[in-house]
Structure 1
Amino acid sequence: METHARSMRHLVEESEAAGVDAELPRLFQAMADRAVAAGHGSEGYPAMVHQFRAGPATGTGEGTDADAGARLVAKYISTWNERDPRRRRALAAEVFTAHAEYVDPSVQAVGLRAIDDHIARWQTQFTEATFQFGEVHGHHNSVYFDWSFGLSGESPIGRGWDTVELEHGRIRRVFGFFASRTAG
């Protein structure tokens, strides 16, 4: 898997350099990276089957494992805070389904590329700001949490909350709500 993960990274880089949609190679790269992280680095593609057999990271049936939901939200927030475009896209490929949707009062972004473009625009507007999140609540393959963003050590610039729909342990849809924006 380590060799395959490196190959997928190269394919993503070459696709992006050529202006070709790299969404699918990014998905396979994220899957290969997860297999390596799970200790299957010396194995081949069948090692990725373990990811499918393990079931959703957020639990099975109608419940949502609170710890798994909180870990996914932490990774989601890390995606917003990651300034390196390649690392941000790799995180997004792990967090979101291939056809995920992000909706807030200012945008409706469908697909990994559109979501990444929206995050990049936000980062351009708030160059030094980072997100933090509060307690995560979840049930029936959905989670809810509040968030804030601002400069480190200062009062938040903005606050809000997200409701997230999960699919197979990843984010399928985000509905973001803005509470208020305060002077920072």
Structure 2
Amino acid sequence: MENEQSSLLKRFMPLIIFAALVTLLAIGLTLNPRLVPSPLINKPAPEFELPLLLEQGSFSDKDFLGEVTLLNVFASWCISCRQEHEVIKYLVRKGVRVVGLNYKDEPEDAKKWLAALGNPYYKVAADYDGLAGIDWGVYATPETFLIDKDGIIRHKVIGPLTDKEKLDGLMAAMALLNK
């Protein structure tokens, strides 16, 4: 009897393992990769200093100090960034300070893009080689970071702010910081 059970178990073990792997794969496929939490949340903004795109000078992590700021990572070649741009302009009209981080873009392309769509940004820093983006954990555009007046990252949105749920989450986080 015991040999029979052992033999059955041995015979069905590959099927059991296969079913478990298929189940794990199916669960993994239902997860949204844009909901991956950032390890930077509640940590100081990474140290950086980048040239400004539209004027002389530079922008650094120290420039976040003193005012709640959104850092919006965008590029002229990014279709979602174009869709999100009206939302960025809306936020600026509401009094939100938004800094643009132009990511892995040609300077002239970025300048033309902003000239055509309007430049809502307080400042636009240029990350030509993407190295600052690596420090920020950027792996796609657009991405938006909420930085408090002490330079601490409090919220991150991956993807365009055209999604109401993402925008509502960002606005709620901003409201808490502005109390």
- Bin for the TM-score computed over the shorter chain: under 0.3
* TM-score of the pair, normalised by structure 2: 0.24
The structure in which a higher percent of residues are strand is 1
TM-score by length of 1: 0.24
